[in-house]
Chains A and B, each alone.
Chain A
């Protein structure tokens, strides 16, 4: 973990109508760092994630991923919105895993995994299928390659979703409450995949309520409240000895 940060958020503001969701977020994520974002609902965690891969626009501030400005282009000191193609290109290096999986129901598991490599990166189909099978095997679903999502359990679907995101060989993986929609007994299989991903050195930002994962896998825990970063530290620091009152109040409620 050295050199330029993988993600740099500078004074990010985001408003939905009159609701100020992000009120000046500053956050750096180092390469190969695993950051867990915690906070109450409405604190802006999901919105921040969606701003990082420009699924949401910014009202002010900047976000850099691997040194590149996301969603905007700077010309003569002024920011202009990037073209759709430029945004899409930058997004392809950032993988995202959603709470509701969002698998493509009309495609099989393998179909889901190879869709973007074939049509976005123009990888030849045979090659994409080979890599796709490897990825699905890696997440423990080698025997489910030809199944449609409707035939898979929630945990299996989420693992396919992770494989699908990894198929684009991203530099950064964003997880938006990846296990919140799962039955408890299926949570473990997904967290295991995420843990092995972390061990391989993937830079990850994870919004989650799974404190066990945070303690065991995260390098940093970031607590957000009302659109700002309130506290940051190692899991031990934040969970055992939180410095801010708001952090203490939140942790009391959930731990």
Chain B
């Protein structure tokens, strides 16, 4: 019975090979990576500001950041995209705005603003994970809270923040697929469009899956290396691949 089912599987590896490096697919892949990266930058920068505001003793800063996090985490990204693109285009009857508010820009900004809410919590947790004695020491040397955060607390919090931030970036790469809701042609959307033309649905989605795997795997390697680099001050220092590569090539300085 199983043999019968197996004989009836029709999967065209040829199509997969054809479309793997197809220019449309590759361009869409690039779109996905660029959107995800830019949105991540926005998210990290804004998220750090929000995270610091969340730990501030200033009630205005604290509450404002709290409201932001609450709103952007509670609503689905798809809804945020629809509101920020279609919604705003309807409501703001300004030609200059409509000309410049492209789908692509709306996607980057929306994903960035959304990501900032999650990053704020990661930053807040990271700051909280640093021993209170560190802030005591920094203050006793005459640093203000902000100086202490910048020079002493955040650098230490960085180590704790890298793994969850890496997770966020991986999630971001995959979430960009949702941008097809406002018509952005990223990787998944491109695969879908092509499959509608040649009816090779499974094959095209295999191509998409392949590229998601490649990108996420490459990024995971980078993340591991970054974690090794940040373990600089620890007693058991895992050697970074970079320093191993350098010693193989004849250098003797440890990094």
* Residue ranges of A at the interface with B (Cβ–Cβ < 8 Å): 53, 55, 84-85, 88-89, 91-96, 98, 100, 102-107, 115-116, 119-121, 148-151, 161, 164-165, 168
B156 touches A105 (CB 8 A): yes
Given contact pairs A100-B133, A102-B134, A102-B136, A116 touches B141 in the complex (Cβ within 8 A): yes
**121-138 of chain B: CB within 8 A of chain A:** 131, 133-134, 136-138
Q: Which 8 A-B pairs have the closest CB atoms?
A: A92-B142, A102-B137, A116-B141, A96-B140, A102-B133, A120-B142, A150-B235, A105-B233
**Chain B residues with Cβ under 8 A from A161's Cβ?**
137
A150 touches B234 (CB 8 A): yes
A95 touches B137 (CB 8 A): no
Distance in Å: Cβ of B6 to nearest Cβ of chain A:
58
* Residue ranges of B at the interface with A (Cβ–Cβ < 8 Å): 131, 133-134, 136-145, 147, 151-152, 155-156, 232-235
B134 touches A104 (CB 8 A): yes
Given contact pairs A115-B151, A150-B233, A150-B234, A164 touches B133 in the complex (Cβ within 8 A): no
**Chain B residues with Cβ under 8 A from A100's Cβ?**
133
New A-B contacts (7) at CB < 8 Å, excluding given A94-B140, A115-B151, A120-B147: A88-B139, A88-B144, A91-B141, A96-B137, A96-B140, A104-B156, A116-B143
Q: Output the nearest chain A residue to B230 by Cβ-Cβ distance.
A: A106
Distance in Å: Cβ of A39 to nearest Cβ of chain B:
21
Q: How far is it, in angstroms, between the C-alpha of A197 and the C-alpha of B139 when the chains are bound?
A: 22
Distance in Å: Cβ of B166 to nearest Cβ of chain A:
20
Q: How far is it, in angstroms, between the C-alpha of A151 and the C-alpha of B140 when the chains are bound?
A: 24
What are 23 of the A-B contact pairs (CB < 8 Å)?
A: A55-B136, A84-B145, A85-B144, A89-B142, A91-B139, A96-B137, A96-B140, A98-B133, A102-B131, A102-B134, A105-B233, A115-B141, A116-B141, A116-B143, A120-B141, A120-B143, A121-B142, A148-B232, A149-B233, A150-B233, A150-B234, A165-B140, A168-B141
Given contact pairs A92-B141, A105-B156, A164-B141, A119 touches B232 in the complex (Cβ within 8 A): no
Q: How far is it, in angstroms, between the C-alpha of A100 and the C-alpha of B131 when the chains are bound?
A: 11
* Contact of B139 (CB < 8 Å), options: A55, A95, A104, A115: A55
**Chain B residues with Cβ under 8 A from A98's Cβ?**
133, 136-137
* Contact of A104 (CB < 8 Å), options: B142, B144, B152, B235: B152
A119 touches B143 (CB 8 A): yes
Distance in Å: Cβ of A117 to nearest Cβ of chain B:
9
Q: How far is it, in angstroms, between the C-alpha of A168 and the C-alpha of B141 when the chains are bound?
A: 7
Given contact pairs A55-B136, A94-B140, A106 touches B155 in the complex (Cβ within 8 A): yes
Distance in Å: Cβ of B239 to nearest Cβ of chain A:
16
Q: How far is it, in angstroms, between the C-alpha of A116 and the C-alpha of B131 when the chains are bound?
A: 19
Q: How far is it, in angstroms, between the C-alpha of A116 and the C-alpha of B140 when the chains are bound?
A: 10
**Chain A residues with Cβ under 8 A from B147's Cβ?**
119-120
A165 touches B141 (CB 8 A): yes
* Contact of B140 (CB < 8 Å), options: A95, A103, A119: A95
Q: How far is it, in angstroms, between the C-alpha of A98 and the C-alpha of B151 when the chains are bound?
A: 19
**Chain B residues with Cβ under 8 A from A115's Cβ?**
141, 151-152
**Chain B residues with Cβ under 8 A from A148's Cβ?**
232-233
A106 touches B140 (CB 8 A): no
Q: Output the nearest chain A residue to B130 by Cβ-Cβ distance.
A: A105
Q: How far is it, in angstroms, between the C-alpha of A94 and the C-alpha of B137 when the chains are bound?
A: 12
**Chain A residues with Cβ under 8 A from B155's Cβ?**
106
A53 touches B140 (CB 8 A): yes
Q: How far is it, in angstroms, between the C-alpha of A53 and the C-alpha of B136 when the chains are bound?
A: 10
Q: Output the nearest chain A residue to B142 by Cβ-Cβ distance.
A: A92
Q: How far is it, in angstroms, between the C-alpha of A64 and the C-alpha of B131 when the chains are bound?
A: 29
**Chain A residues with Cβ under 8 A from B143's Cβ?**
88, 116, 119-120
Q: How far is it, in angstroms, between the C-alpha of A98 and the C-alpha of B144 when the chains are bound?
A: 19
Q: How far is it, in angstroms, between the C-alpha of A53 and the C-alpha of B137 when the chains are bound?
A: 11
**Chain B residues with Cβ under 8 A from A85's Cβ?**
144
Q: Output the nearest chain B residue to A96 by Cβ-Cβ distance.
A: B140
Distance in Å: Cβ of B198 to nearest Cβ of chain A:
55
Distance in Å: Cβ of B49 to nearest Cβ of chain A:
19
A116 touches B142 (CB 8 A): yes
* Contact of B142 (CB < 8 Å), options: A107, A150, A151, A168: A168
Between A105, A120, A150, the greatest number of chain B beta carbons within 10 A of the residue's beta carbon is seen for A105
**Chain B residues with Cβ under 8 A from A103's Cβ?**
137
**Chain A residues with Cβ under 8 A from B141's Cβ?**
91-92, 115-116, 120, 164-165, 168
